Chains A and B, each alone.
Chain A
């Protein structure tokens, strides 16, 4: 089955760190750009970061630059998001998504998300 499954969310104190994982299956993971998108409570969706097939290009939302790091392990069909110096405003459901890049620009496969709560 073609799917993405996120894990690693939880409750963390402000200033703390967390690593999210996304396990891909049913498709050739190494052929695709991958993205993290978040949904804050009561608000809409927000693109967070993306990464090229081989990991050589990474892009970030300005508000997470220097605090979040996106990475991937193609041998393990996995995508990661390392989050540090977490703030209350980072509280959200984090989704990983498969991205159609270069001229198409959309997400054709999503996971169910993992909840991150930043609170003391």
Chain B
């Protein structure tokens, strides 16, 4: 099972919107509405932002939104803020109870 493909880096100015893509295959992203997104500030615990493609985790700002089209899922951050600077990972159910998860390659978001 190959890792899901994300852009290595995305940047934007405060207040702008950015979108991070997550491309998989018909075996994972394309076949299940089971994509989750995680924010990771290095040295801290990763944090769930979005699950099941577009559902917000408790307490997460609605500036974050998720969507999916075909084999590609996307995370959009609106009204970019300095604290959004972090690494972001997507993850999809991979179709098997014995190998359930495939992660994305990760995207570094920089707030200019």
Chain A residues within 8 Å of B, Cβ to Cβ = 4, 35, 37, 43-47, 50, 59, 61-62, 95, 97, 100, 104-113
Say yes or no for B46: interface residue by CB 8 A criterion: yes
Given known contacts A4-B45, A59-B97, A61-B99, A108 and B91 CB-to-CB distance under 8 angstroms: no
Question: Once the chains bind, are B45 and A105 in contact (CB under 8 Å)?
Answer: no
> Which residue of the partner chain, among A35, A45, A107, contacts B48 with CB atoms under 8 Å?
A107
**Nearest Cβ in chain A — how far from B42, in angstroms?**
10
- Chain A residues contacting B74 (CB-CB under 8 Å) are none
**Nearest Cβ in chain B — how far from A82, in angstroms?**
19
**Count of CB-CB pairs between chains A and B under 8 Å:** 70
Question: Once the chains bind, are B99 and A105 in contact (CB under 8 Å)?
Answer: no
Contact with A along B74-112 (1 / 0, CB 8 A): 000000000000000101010001111111111000000
Say yes or no for B34: interface residue by CB 8 A criterion: yes
Of all chain B residues, the one with the shortest Cβ separation from A57 is B97
Instruction: Please tell me the number of chain B residues within 8 Å of chain A, measured between CB atoms.
Output: 27
- Chain A residues contacting B32 (CB-CB under 8 Å) are 105
Given known contacts A47-B101, A47-B103, A59-B97, A106 and B89 CB-to-CB distance under 8 angstroms: no
Of all chain B residues, the one with the shortest Cβ separation from A111 is B45
A-B contacts, 9 of them at CB < 8 A, read A37-B103, A45-B103, A45-B104, A45-B106, A47-B101, A95-B45, A105-B101, A106-B91, A110-B45
A95 to B3, CA, bound (A): 18
**Nearest Cβ in chain B — how far from A61, in angstroms?**
7
Closest 7 CB pairs of A and B: A106-B36, A47-B101, A105-B93, A45-B103, A106-B51, A44-B106, A110-B45
